[in-house]
Structure 1
């Protein structure tokens, strides 16, 4: 008698509960997968705070590269980061005749491979796609990339990861040119 009641409770109450849980889990997993399908460029383009970065990537003809297979790690400066540059710098960099200089600045924000926050925390430097190194310092609960602070880490994309930074990184050679 007890086992029949237990079976009835199982069939009537637990199976629907288990099914609802599985449906919820699969719906969540589908949503998670969906958010990771966008590549680095599409992910950045979907956020207003990266509109200057996206315009710069377009002006430097780096869209196809950053939509490529990768994986890439991008230290992505926000619009606010670009506004901290000396007045007229962004406009000057976006001019067609400064495309090589702009490309140098942007590729200085990119590291080959998918370097997650956990990995960044164990680094002291990293070689950028531009060819020179950036300094990585982890102290007092924050991560610094040169003079920039990582304000959001591990934005996963289909072809790498974005770490949001609060300052535009400038290679030494570009600093001299400005």
Structure 2
């Protein structure tokens, strides 16, 4: 009969193996495989930000779901994707990315230090505000648009993904 300590060690080893295996994909590979972020991945690839997200990090990506992009404006997204000038699309995509690994716990700690609010600088260069509404972490862009984190802390090899329910924008597009 195995001792309880051996059982705990085996269980811990299994959990460590599963967690390590789950983090072998990059942010782009994982989001692409999710089946829920095809529009985001198309925009990331169109702006060539995928090369950065594949090879470096860590990054935190606030990833709008496909449903969030559909609510954003299909006409506006189509215009951004088909334009020869990808600067506005790149600005939009990079506004959803923060350098470093911001887990939900770190976001909450920053909000505690900031009296309920926290500010993060995106790789686009603009600030993204975070606050709580009930049990939800809510992000607010400079125009006052909000997005809720609906799935937090999807750890990847080179960062973390938080799925959000809306597209946030750095400036009027």
TM-score (norm 1): 0.83
Rounded Cα–Cα distance in structure 2 between residues aligned with 1:37 and 1:49 = 19
What is aligned with 1:73?
A: 60
Rounded Cα–Cα distance in structure 2 between residues aligned with 1:133 and 1:99 = 21
CA-to-aligned-CA distance 1:74-111 (integer Å, 9 cap, x gap): 10000000001124111111114131111100000011
Rounded Cα–Cα distance in structure 1 between residues aligned with 2:72 and 2:119 = 23
Question: More displaced, 48-57 or 83-92?
Answer: 83-92
Rounded Cα–Cα distance in structure 2 between residues aligned with 1:148 and 1:88 = 20
What is aligned with 2:137?
A: 143
Question: More displaced, 91-100 or 156-165?
Answer: 91-100
Counterpart check, 1:112 vs 2:72: no
What is aligned with 1:14?
A: 2
How far is the alpha carbon of 1:164 from its aligned partner?
0.7
Rounded Cα–Cα distance in structure 2 between residues aligned with 1:139 and 1:20 = 41
How far is the alpha carbon of 1:19 from its aligned partner?
5.6
How far is the alpha carbon of 1:20 from its aligned partner?
6.0
Aligned residue among 127, 130, 133 for 1:133: 127
Question: More displaced, 82-91 or 109-118?
Answer: 82-91
Rounded Cα–Cα distance in structure 1 between residues aligned with 2:147 and 2:8 = 43
For residues 31-110 of structure 1, what are the structure 2 equivalents within 5 Å?
Answer: 31-110=18-97
> Paired residues, what number?
161
Rounded Cα–Cα distance in structure 2 between residues aligned with 1:95 and 1:36 = 33
Q: If each structure's helix is expressed as a fraction of its own residues, which one has the higher value?
A: 1
- Secondary structure, counterpart of 2:41 in structure 1: helix
Contact 1:76 1:162 in 2 (8 A): yes
What is aligned with 2:152?
A: 153
Rounded Cα–Cα distance in structure 2 between residues aligned with 1:119 and 1:102 = 28
Rounded Cα–Cα distance in structure 2 between residues aligned with 1:74 and 1:22 = 33
- Give RMSD over aligned pairs: 1.7
Contact 1:92 1:98 in 2 (8 A): no
TM-score (norm 2): 0.85
- Secondary structure, counterpart of 1:144 in structure 2: strand
